[in-house]
């Protein structure tokens, strides 16, 4: 079993000014003693995109709400952009630094028109109506919302357009940290592509709670795996999400892009081509018996998963998971083994 | 199509129409209520509101007035003889006049309100209420009440559809009443949860109870004020006419 670690990055190695989120030993219980978070600790650096993945009821939304100060609690220490959300005085300044996009855009949109909804945040931050209007127009343009619809009631928009407006509402506030709760929900594939493109262009730090692991692969560099309120793993996104056993143990699946390639690689290497790797049990440890998993993943209370570096078909010396996104020629496979 | 009522400065319009509605509420006689209704209908006509919009909302108000018109003639009486006598039931003209007065007052106030809402953008209306001195908390209650009414309406449609696709038909049986009760309960719970989430989202965007309008206030011109005063005077004259001519005579 790997040693427990506090986040994938050692907080002591990062200057305090570079950290936008510091969470230490955070726990949360709802009334009725339903435990939502248990001793969660991690940090997020400025300009870092971090995914928060986990099954339903893992505590992802609770964690985001604790970070915004919306959900009060006492156990644990949180610092977000230098503010303590538990302190009522400091919490008043949090909206200047933190923007949250809620899971359901209907919860976020309430103004009579799209433009007024997007300008709501800047007005509350103290901008003049003219400045707020300019910010709102710019934010709506950034998310690709047509200007001719600025006066429409937000509730009459489609799900994708509502999501755009919700994003624009936060974008207009220009926060240093984005908290996004299931940002891909309600979006069709095109809307999802546009969302990914937008998120990749935003330079600010982002903490994205989602089940959409493909989106995570596209946007995030680091993943936190939560389950039953506990932080299970923290590491580079491609390594956490390629760990099939780890994900399966916590109600997730390897994303199609990673899993598909691993399956294909397994089919090719283990049975058909003759580039037979050692059996999986042996592959998980190196010759000297050390754990072969990436040292960048920190796991807590989870047995090591059999992350097998499988040879690439075209470059047998290179592990399959490290390959780029070049398509695999499935026609070269035997018919009965095609995925 | 925009009429001159659309161009009326929102604060003056709110003050004029709400003041007129308040004055109409104090009318007693059905003649005066009929004249007030005619005045409100004239304003609604001048404002070029959609007939469908007016009829849709006015019919709801009319439904609310029907019980008064139906019940009061059988229960209120004065010195005049009854028009119809069916054993213990007697139909009196005084009750009918009172019921008509209630219905016409309701319709007149409804038409004035429709004229106000139909000719003023919602955000301008809220800003006008705030600039007239309504506290921010009350302005937000008005703003969100409208929003939640729409949301709850949609939620109710979803619940109804969910009930119907599972074969539920509202019938006057215990099964029907029980499940309608469940649906209403679910609607209230969903509404409360949504209200909490909306409030959380507002606080995340820096909301601290203030009401800040995005649209700058329109200048209040002399003719806006004069129109406001004129409407008040008309309603005042109507009330005085009712008191002095009808009651005094």
- Give the tens place of pLDDT for each residue, B30-77: 889 999 999 999 998 888 888 888 888 888 888 888 998 899 988 888
Q: Are A123 and B210 in contact (CB under 8 A)?
A: no
B213 CB neighbours in chain A (<8 A) are 129
Whether residue A309 is predicted with pLDDT greater than 70 in this model: the reply is no
Q: What is the pLDDT of residue B133?
A: 93
Q: What is the pLDDT of residue B170?
A: 83
Q: What is the pLDDT of residue A299?
A: 57
Q: Are B206 and A69 in contact (CB under 8 A)?
A: no
A107/B197 Cβ within 8 A? yes
Rounded to whole angstroms, the Cα distance separating A256 from A120 reads 39
Substitution target in B205, B210, B211, B218 with the highest count of A β-carbons within 10 Å is B205
B200/A129 Cβ within 8 A? no
Rounded to whole angstroms, the Cα distance separating B145 from A306 reads 56
Rounded to whole angstroms, the Cα distance separating A332 from A2 reads 39
Whether residue A122 is predicted with pLDDT greater than 60 in this model: the reply is yes
Average pLDDT rounded to a whole number, residues A242-267: 75
Residue A260's pLDDT band, with cuts at 50, 70 and 90, is: low
Substitution target in A123, A136, A177 with the highest count of B β-carbons within 10 Å is A123
User: SS3 for A243?
Assistant: coil
A121/B205 Cβ within 8 A? yes
Average pLDDT rounded to a whole number, residues B120-143: 92
User: Considering only alpha carbons, which residue of chain A is nearest residue B126?
Assistant: A112
Average pLDDT rounded to a whole number, residues B91-109: 91
A155/B147 Cβ within 8 A? yes
Sign of CA dihedral B14, B15, B18, B20: negative
B121/A112 Cβ within 8 A? yes
| Domain coordinates in residue numbering, chain A | 11-249, 256-337
Radius of gyration of chain B (CA): 23
Residue B78's pLDDT band, with cuts at 50, 70 and 90, is: confident
Average pLDDT rounded to a whole number, residues A206-216: 93
Any B CB within 8 A of A30 CB? no
B206/A173 Cβ within 8 A? yes
Sequence-distant (6+) residues with CB within 8 A of A254 are A213, A241, A242, A243, A244, A247, A262
Q: What is the pLDDT of residue A306?
A: 43
| Domain coordinates in residue numbering, chain B | 4-120+220-247, 136-204
Q: Single out the residue of B133, B77, B65 nearest to residue B102, CA to CA.
A: B65
ipTM at complex level: 0.77
Domain A11-249, CATH: 3.40.50.300
Whether residue A324 is predicted with pLDDT greater than 90 in this model: the reply is no
A100/B204 Cβ within 8 A? yes
Spacing of C-alpha B142 from chain mean position = 13
Average pLDDT rounded to a whole number, residues A274-279: 40
Looking at the DSSP bridge assignments, the partners of residue A53 are A225
Residue A17's pLDDT band, with cuts at 50, 70 and 90, is: low
Whether residue A313 is predicted with pLDDT greater than 60 in this model: the reply is no
Average pLDDT rounded to a whole number, residues A57-76: 89
A65/B206 Cβ within 8 A? no
Q: Each residue of B142-173: pLDDT tens digit?
A: 999 888 888 888 888 988 898 889 888 888 88
First to last CA, chain A: 33
Q: Are A104 and B193 in contact (CB under 8 A)?
A: no
Q: Are A77 and A27 in contact (CB under 8 A)?
A: no
**Strand A49-53, strand B89-91: pairing:** unpaired
Q: How far is A187 from chain B (nearest CA, A)?
A: 20
Rounded to whole angstroms, the Cα distance separating A177 from A174 reads 9
Q: How far is A256 from chain B (nearest CA, A)?
A: 33
Q: What is the pLDDT of residue A76?
A: 87
A116 CB neighbours in chain B (<8 A) are 123, 214
Residue A152's pLDDT band, with cuts at 50, 70 and 90, is: very high
Chain B residues with CB within 8 Å of chain A CB: 121-123, 126, 143-144, 147, 150-151, 154, 194, 197-198, 200-208, 210, 212-216
Residue A60's pLDDT band, with cuts at 50, 70 and 90, is: very high
Residue A9's pLDDT band, with cuts at 50, 70 and 90, is: very low
Radius of gyration of chain A (CA): 22
Q: What is the pLDDT of residue A320?
A: 40
B147/A100 Cβ within 8 A? no
Rounded to whole angstroms, the Cα distance separating B136 from B159 reads 33
Any B CB within 8 A of A70 CB? yes
| Surface of A (115-174) touching B: CB under 8 A | 115-116, 119-121, 123-125, 129, 132-133, 155, 169-170, 173
Q: Each residue of A169-180: pLDDT tens digit?
A: 999 999 999 999
B198/A107 Cβ within 8 A? yes
A116/B123 Cβ within 8 A? yes
Whether residue A208 is predicted with pLDDT greater than 50 in this model: the reply is yes
Size of interface A-B (CB pairs under 8 A): 76
Substitution target in B129, B153, B214 with the highest count of A β-carbons within 10 Å is B214
Q: What is the pLDDT of residue A261?
A: 54
Q: Where are the alpha helices (DSSP H) in chain A?
A: 60-68, 88-91, 94-97, 114-124, 129-142, 159-171, 189-201, 213-219, 237-241, 244-249, 256-267, 280-283
Rounded to whole angstroms, the Cα distance separating A161 from A183 reads 12
């Amino acid at each position: 079993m790997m040693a427990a670690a506090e986040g994938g990055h050692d907080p002591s190695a990062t200057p305090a000014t570079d950290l936008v989120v510091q969470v230490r030993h955070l726990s949360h219980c709802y009334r009725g003693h339903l435990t939502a978070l248990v001793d969660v600790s991690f940090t997020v650096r400025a300009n870092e995109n971090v995914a928060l993945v986990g099954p339903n009821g893992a505590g992802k939304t609770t964690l985001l709400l604790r970070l915004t100060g919306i959900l009060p609690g006492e156990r644990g220490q949180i610092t977000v952009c230098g503010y303590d959300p538990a302190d009522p005085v400091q919490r008043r300044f949090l909206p200047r630094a933190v923007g949250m996009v809620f899971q359901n855009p209907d919860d976020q949109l309430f103004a009579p028109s799209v433009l007024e909804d997007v300008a709501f945040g800047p007005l509350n931050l103290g901008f003049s109506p003219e400045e707020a209007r300019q910010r709102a127009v710019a934010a709506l343009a950034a998310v690709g919302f047509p200007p001719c619809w600025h006066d429409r009631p937000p509730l009459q928009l489609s799900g994708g357009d509502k999501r755009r407006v919700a994003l624009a509402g936060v974008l207009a506030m220009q926060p240093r940290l984005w908290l996004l709760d299931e940002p891909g929900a309600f979006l069709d594939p095109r809307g999802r592509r546009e969302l990914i493109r937008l998120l990749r262009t935003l330079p600010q730090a982002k903490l994205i709670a989602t089940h959409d692991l493909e989106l995570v692969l596209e946007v995030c560099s680091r993943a936190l795996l939560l389950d039953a309120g506990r932080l299970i793993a923290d590491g580079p996104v491609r390594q956490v999400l390629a760990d099939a056993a780890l994900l399966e143990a916590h109600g997730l699946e390897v994303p199609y892009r990673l899993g598909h390639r691993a399956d294909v690689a397994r089919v090719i290497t283990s049975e058909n081509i003759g580039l037979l790797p050692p059996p999986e049990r042996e592959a998980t440890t190196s010759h000297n018996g050390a754990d072969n998993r990436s040292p960048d993943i920190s796991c807590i209370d989870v047995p090591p998963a059999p992350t097998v570096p499988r040879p690439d078909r075209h470059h047998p010396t290179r592990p399959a998971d490290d390959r780029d996104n070049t398509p695999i020629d499935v026609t070269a496979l035997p018919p009965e083994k095609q995925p | 199509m925009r009429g001159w009522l659309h161009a009326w400065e929102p604060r003056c319009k709110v003050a004029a129409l709400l003041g007129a509605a308040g004055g109409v509420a104090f009318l007693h006689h059905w003649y005066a209520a009929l004249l007030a209704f005619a005045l409100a209908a004239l304003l609604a006509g001048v404002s070029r509101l959609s007939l469908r919009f007016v009829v849709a909302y006015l019919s709801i108000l009319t439904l609310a007035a029907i019980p008064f018109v139906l019940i009061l003639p059988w229960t209120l009486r004065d010195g005049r003889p009854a028009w119809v006598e069916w054993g213990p039931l007697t139909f009196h003209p005084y009750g009918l006049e009172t019921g008509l007065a209630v219905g016409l007052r309701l319709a007149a106030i409804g038409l004035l309100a429709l004229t106000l809402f139909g000719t003023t953008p919602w955000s301008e209306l809220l800003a006008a209420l705030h600039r007239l001195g309504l506290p921010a908390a009350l302005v937000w209650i008005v703003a969100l009440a409208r929003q939640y009414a729409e949301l709850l309406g949609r939620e109710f449609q979803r619940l109804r559809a969910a009930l119907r696709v599972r074969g539920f038909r509202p019938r006057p049986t215990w099964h029907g009443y029980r499940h309608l009760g469940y649906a209403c309960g679910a609607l209230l719970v969903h509404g409360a949860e949504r209200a909490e989430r909306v409030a959380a989202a507002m606080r995340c965007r820096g909301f601290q109870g203030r009401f800040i309008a995005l649209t700058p206030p329109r200048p209040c011109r002399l003719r806006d004020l004069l129109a406001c005063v004129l409407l008040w005077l008309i309603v005042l004259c109507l009330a005085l006419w009712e008191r002095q001519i009808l009651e005094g005579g």
